Amino acid sequence: MAVTTATGPAPAAGVWGSIWQGITRSTSGFIGLCLVLSVLLFSFVGPLLIDSHNPTDVSKIWGPMSSEHWLGTNHEGKDTLTQLILGGREPIMVGLMAALITVAIAVTLGAIAGYVRGRVDHFLLQLTDITMTIPFIVLMLVIASFYRTSSPMVVSFIIGLVTWPYLMRSIRAQVLTLKEREFIEAARLQDLGTARILCVEVLPNMAGYIFINFIIAITNAIYAVVGMYLLGLLPSTADNWGLMIQQAWDNNAFLLPQAAPFLVAPMVMIMLFQIGLVTMTRSLEQALNPRLRDR
């Protein structure tokens, strides 16, 4: 991803205006926005429009698609469509919260390291290097296996705790570039204080870059939580797209033609949401990155 540089303070309204223009002026970006909104409505509004009671019916195990069960039934005789609608909220919420944690840690540490420099910068870089040398998947699996919980917040914290180092280094590089700008020098001469300079002068000029990386962090977190469910590291206490894939695999759904919707449907929903986020990100990057804006 290209590094974004700023030329001066940018008001928040201008940033959000650029984000909206970047999405709407590009066909792919607008399609991506529609995909994301459709999946969000399906996952958060859909449960309010259906009967969430999805009882087990052993007489309808792996039932085919019909007018009563549009996507058939699963290995317990439950309606697949109902489970699909109820299963989207948790992975999306976990992805959102994990991305917030990742970005918050990376932006805070990266901004401090890049602006303060000295021993603080050296210590934070050493901490980042140590974290980056630990295999991401192995660390995530070990933590999850020791603390098995169904709390979305805890799962989000686990994912966010191991995914911040790479973004932190990028944020630090951005701050090092902005630190040499004239308006930062002027703020420093006015003795506005480190916290105010970072929050008022530096970080607002990185809003577009941070927002793009926030979207990327959501996609990575969703893949992570689905992978954790697929590996059986999270308890099966609630409907979840990742849990549906795990149950389909454990019950050999891939061997039964009538069970295909139970396996394919959650994968399609995850793919549509991720494709929407990725296409949005590309459009936003082109709109917010000065080096790509005029291409």
Segment 30-48, tens digit of pLDDT: 888 899 999 999 999 999 9
Q: Identify the band that residue 17 occupies on the pLDDT scale cut at 50, 70 and 90.
A: low
Position 148 scores a pLDDT of 60
Whether 65 is in a domain gets the answer no
Whether residue 60 is predicted with pLDDT greater than 60 in this model: the reply is yes
Whether residue 100 is predicted with pLDDT greater than 70 in this model: the reply is yes
Which of 34-48, 66-80, 135-149, 158-172 has the least mean pLDDT?
A: 135-149
Whether residue 146 is predicted with pLDDT greater than 90 in this model: the reply is no
* Count: domains in the chain: 1
CATH code, 168:
1.10.3720.10
Whether residue 10 is predicted with pLDDT greater than 50 in this model: the reply is no
Whether 70 is in a domain gets the answer no
Whether 250 is in a domain gets the answer yes
Whether 62 is in a domain gets the answer no
Q: What is the mean pLDDT of residues 174-188?
A: 84
Whether 74 is in a domain gets the answer no
Position 109 scores a pLDDT of 94
Position 149 scores a pLDDT of 59
- What is the model's pTM? 0.82
What domain range includes position 224? 12-45+81-293
Whether 225 is in a domain gets the answer yes
Whether 269 is in a domain gets the answer yes
Q: What is the mean pLDDT of residues 71-82?
A: 91
CA separation for the pair 62, 256 (Å, rounded) = 8
Whether residue 286 is predicted with pLDDT greater than 70 in this model: the reply is no
Whether 58 is in a domain gets the answer no
